[in-house]
Amino acid sequence: MDGNGRWAERQGLPRNAGHEAGETALFDTVEGALELGLQWLTVYAFSTENWKRPPAEVRFLMGFNRDLLLRRGDELHQRGVRVRFIGRRGRPVPQRLVDMIEATEAKTARNTRMTLQVAFNYGGRAELVDAAQRIAEDAAAGKLGRVTEKSIQARMYQPEAPDVDLLIRTSGEQRLSNFLLWEAAYAEMVFTETLWPDFNRQELRAAVTEFQSRQRRFGRV
Ligand code: FPP
């Protein structure tokens, strides 16, 4: 959900106002995903590298994300959305936020219409490191023989999540920024100049239409 800060600066507002505007974009995009019948939608809300931002912005984002779940968790639940988080949950993520994340996951666990995955304190390399650590532990305990793609997949944060089909990057940047490195191996990428607060269901629909025009070969001819 990239471009909140720039959107705010262009309007002469503080960066945090951009994150607040990003909430509206997120909920309209979720609505669009439901209309399209998507089963999985993953959004990047905070990366393992985002801790390097000014402390005041980091503090704002921690409070904001907790508050957002508190204010709008029920709405997602009523829409039949299962909410799940991927990323590291220990410190420095505030315990109050972890509690809210876990309460939202528990409340929505039985919903089947769509899964909204929120990548929070997430890094693609950190996820691979954590999977490798678990593989080492399971191998040492005699619970794992050969390492295969399947045994790595089984140790990702959400093993049952499908591979990424379509990856949309907003705000004119054209890089992966440590997002879903393993899962996006064959993802189709769509880049848009739109800053995240201006993203919406129409933009999602346009990206899906673009995706449908692509030929996916998965290494074949
Ligand atoms: C990146 O814009 C955006 C973020 C770091 C935060 C986005 C978070 C939300 C919209 C809330 C989502 C929360 C939940 C629980 C789903 P940026 O600051 O990098 O913008 P810039 O590149 O223009 O500076």
Give the pLDDT of residue 121: 98
Per residue in 73-116, pLDDT tens? 999 999 999 999 999 999 999 999 999 999 999 999 999 999 99
% the chain with pLDDT above 90: 96
SS3 state at 7: helix
For residues 28 and 199, give the distance between their C-alpha atoms in angstroms, rounded to a whole number: 8
For residues 20 and 58, give the distance between their C-alpha atoms in angstroms, rounded to a whole number: 14
pLDDT band at 221 (very low <50, low <70, confident <90, very high): confident
pTM, 2 dp: 0.95
* DSSP secondary structure letters along 157-213: SSTTSPPPSEEEE-TT--S-TTSSTTTTTT-EEEE----GGG--HHHHHHHHHHHHT
SS3 state at 220: coil
Give the pLDDT of residue 177: 96
- Give the sheet arrangement for strand 40-47, strand by strand: 40-47, 114-122, 81-86
Nearest atom of ligand 1 to the alpha carbon of 195: 23
pLDDT at 216 over 90: no
118 in contact with ligand 1, CB cutoff 6 A: yes
Pocket residue to mutate for ligand 1, from 6, 7, 11, 19, most atoms within 8 A of Cβ: 19
Q: Distance from the CA of 138 to the center of ligand 1, in angstroms?
A: 36
